[in-house]
Amino acid sequence: MMRVSPVSCAMAILLISACANEPEQPEQVNQTELAQPNKVPLQSRHRAEQKMVVAGAMMHDMALSQHLYLPPNNVITEKYLETPENGLFVTNEQPVSTFSIDVDTGSYTNIRRMLNHGLLPPADAVRAEDFINYFDYHYAPAASGQTFNLDTQLALSPWNKGRHLLKISLMGSQPEAQWQKPANLVFLVDVSGSMKAPDKLPLLIQSLRLLTSQLDKQDKVSIVTYAGQSNTLLASASGDQQLQIMQALDSLSAGGSTNGEGGIRQAYHLARANFIQEGVNRVILATDGDFNVGISDLEQLKDLIRQQRQSGVALTTLGFGSGNYNDALMESLSNLGNGQHAYIDNINEARKVLIDELSASMEIIASDVKIQVEFNPAVVAEYRLVGYQNRMLAREDFNNDHVDAGEVGAGHRVTALYELALTTSDIRQVDPLRYAENNQATSFSNELAQIKLRYKQPGNNASQLQSTIVSLQDHNREVDGDFAFAAAAAGFAQLLKGGKYMQHTGFADILQLAERGKGQDSHGYRSEFIRLVRSADALTTSQAGTL
């Protein structure tokens, strides 16, 4: 007899409740109609199929809870890029900061997986921008005919007394109907032996089934698999051929070695063959990232992706699993491929990424999006950007339209935080220069900074410029609402990286800050964040007690 743990029972109850509480649509859809999808109203068919997929995933998540991966001696052996925190800059010496935006969320969900498994993450696995941008914020929409709403807020730093936080926010325009453009998608699936675990191929299949349930007859789907060699499982199917696509996904099984380069080449070949002009053309790589290729082959692979993005085919990476997970490669490939990287640790995250945020993930409204901030040395003594370490650009790159930067999808929100010390503050971490500060210009004494945004609209090779001035008005207020929660997310990430710039701030302070900014939290993501902070606090205390 199979034994079911209390955790499994709780998960089942939550998932059943989630399905039961969804509002019903007037149209009734039965199983016979689902086999003939063109006879069913699209909205009703999608909702019915989503419920079936989520209900089917319920048993998968129950099984997954019984197979939590714990590496030997609780030592993380996964691969991460080295990401030391950004340092402080003295404004008088370097007043300009330039970076590419980033809309990835993979680091946050990957860290969530570790904390839920009772493990503190390695510092390099933590990317603060992923933590901040994982959450929705109530930003004002872009004005009619505009691509972005660019906004700023200034408040006292909740981490370090006597300092300030500058929040820069972008809100991308949202089409009237979600995901209007037809899509040409190639599912590139890793079916090598390393994908056998419950949190890998089985979860991957359930995730792509959710995405499939969103498609229509205007869309195209291809499926390529790779292990020791690549294989085209589905050359091209119309998006309304739901049964055929899902049967192909359900037929997948894991086994063999991993050579992802051949699979990627084949996936791009199909994407070009089925290319939709003025549509969404994208390869979706779903894997644990454990490619068995040499360094020279890896560099060739990166060059291939750089070339392919010029053809209009983007690359999204979906990460799965633990133990051998290669976050460094997954993030690098998505950056090179003008796409996003997400880590899927459970079916609810799959639903968030592939249903709730589908248009933001797929329909690009701006490419090569860069931000440049010029701080006023008469007002700002020093500054540091929180996160975006591997997105930093040279000052001259801002005006160079040949320099690659990040992409923003429809309705995407992007947030960045700078911590500042004003010239009037006694709390500085870098000694001022004796022979520079006395010669500062004062003609802009009420301006803190100028922020410039540069981006290209789809199909354009020339960028557009947007700018705003940040004033000192109301700069001594406390952070609240969304600002408080974004600061909590950034602060949590910094503590997990070692807290070099957090001084006397601890997890308890982050908890208070998150509670202050929690708000309505209709999806429960912020409540979950608060639980993760408590878990990290407990794990840190426990580890400290063993030293």
- What does 282-305 look like in DSSP terms, one character per residue? EEEEEE-------HHHHHHHHHHH
Q: Does 332 lie in the same domain as 287? A: yes
User: Is the Cβ–Cβ distance between 165 and 418 less than 8 Å?
Assistant: yes
Cα distances (angstroms) measured from residue 389 to each of 83, 85, 325 = 6, 7, 21
Q: Indicate the DSSP class of residue 356.
A: I
Q: Does 234 lie in the same domain as 304? A: yes
CA 274 to chain CA centroid, nearest Å: 27
Cα gap 212→392, rounded to integer Å: 36
Give a yes or no: residue 378 inside a domain.
yes
Phi, psi of 233 (to 5 degrees): -85, -30
Q: Does 516 lie in the same domain as 382? A: yes
What is the domain range of residue 153? 89-175+364-426+444-539
Rg of the chain over CA atoms, in angstroms? 24
Of 176, 460, 177, 516, whose CA–CA distance to 312 is shortest?
A: 460
Cα gap 328→308, rounded to integer Å: 20
Cα gap 130→419, rounded to integer Å: 18
Q: Does 238 lie in the same domain as 132? A: no
Q: Does 159 lie in the same domain as 197? A: no
Cα gap 271→314, rounded to integer Å: 10
Structure tokens, 388: 């975006």
Q: What is the pLDDT of residue 65?
A: 41
Give the containing element (helix H, strand E) for 421.
strand 413-422
Q: Indicate the DSSP class of residue 192.
A: S
Q: What is the pLDDT of residue 424?
A: 86
- What does 122-178 look like in DSSP terms, one character per residue? PGGG--HHHHHHTS---PPPPPTT-SEEEEEEEEE-SSSTT-EEEEEEEEE---SST
User: Is the Cβ–Cβ distance between 338 and 409 less than 8 Å?
Assistant: no
Helix 106-116 to helix 525-546 angle, to the nearest 10 degrees? 50
Give a yes or no: residue 337 inside a domain.
yes
What CATH number is attached to the domain comprising 246?
Answer: 3.40.50.410
Cα gap 127→492, rounded to integer Å: 11
Q: Does 315 lie in the same domain as 221? A: yes
Give a yes or no: residue 35 inside a domain.
no
Tell me which amino acid residue 355 is.
I
* 3-state secondary structure at position 449: strand
Q: 435-438 — which CB contacts under 8 Å span 24+ positions? A: 436/92, 436/93, 437/92, 437/377
Cα distances (angstroms) measured from residue 430 to each of 160, 163, 448, 499, 526 = 15, 13, 19, 18, 35
Find the distance separating the first CA and the last CA of the chain, reported in whole Å: 42
Q: What is the pLDDT of residue 28?
A: 37
Give a yes or no: residue 534 inside a domain.
yes
Structure tokens, 399: 């005006």
List average pLDDT for each run of 10 residues in the chain, which is 547 residues long.
Answer: 36 38 37 36 45 46 43 66 94 95 95 95 96 96 92 94 95 73 94 92 96 94 92 94 96 85 90 94 92 68 87 93 90 91 96 89 91 95 96 95 93 96 77 53 77 93 95 88 98 96 92 95 96 96 70
Q: Choose one of 342, 362, 382: the last residue of a domain.
A: 362
Give a yes or no: residue 238 inside a domain.
yes
Phi, psi of 395 (to 5 degrees): -55, -40
Dihedral sign for Cα atoms in the order 401, 448, 424, 480:
negative
Tell me which amino acid residue 213 is.
S
Q: Choose one of 362, 377, 408: the last residue of a domain.
A: 362
What CATH number is attached to the domain comprising 515?
Answer: 2.60.40.1230
User: Is the Cβ–Cβ distance between 199 and 69 less than 8 Å?
Assistant: yes
Q: Does 103 lie in the same domain as 134? A: yes
Residue tagged 């991993």 (tokens): 258
83 CB-side CA count, 13 A: 29
User: Is the Cβ–Cβ distance between 393 and 102 less than 8 Å?
Assistant: no
Torsion angle (degrees, nearest 10) of CA 424, 426, 427, 428: 80
Q: Does 208 lie in the same domain as 298? A: yes
User: Is the Cβ–Cβ distance between 79 and 87 less than 8 Å?
Assistant: no
Q: Tell me how many domains the chain contains.
A: 2
Structure tokens, 82: 């080295």
Cα gap 207→355, rounded to integer Å: 10
Q: Does 171 lie in the same domain as 196? A: no
Q: Does 338 lie in the same domain as 478? A: no
Residue tagged 């039965």 (tokens): 30
Q: What is the pLDDT of residue 55?
A: 45
Which are the contacts of 191, defined by CB distance < 8 A and separation ≥ 6? 201, 225, 226, 227, 252, 253, 254, 255, 256
Give a yes or no: residue 483 inside a domain.
yes
Give the containing element (helix H, strand E) for 318.
strand 314-319
Measured CA angle at 154 (ends 150, 160), to 5 deg: 135
Of 308, 344, 21, whose CA–CA distance to 211 is shortest?
A: 344
Give a yes or no: residue 198 inside a domain.
yes
Q: Does 189 lie in the same domain as 56? A: yes
Q: Choose one of 337, 362, 387: the last residue of a domain.
A: 362
pTM value is 0.84
Which are the contacts of 12, defined by CB distance < 8 A and separation ≥ 6? 58, 62
User: Is the Cβ–Cβ distance between 83 and 389 less than 8 Å?
Assistant: yes
Q: What is the pLDDT of residue 360?
A: 82
Q: Does 338 lie in the same domain as 212? A: yes
Give a yes or no: residue 29 inside a domain.
no
Cα gap 488→154, rounded to integer Å: 15
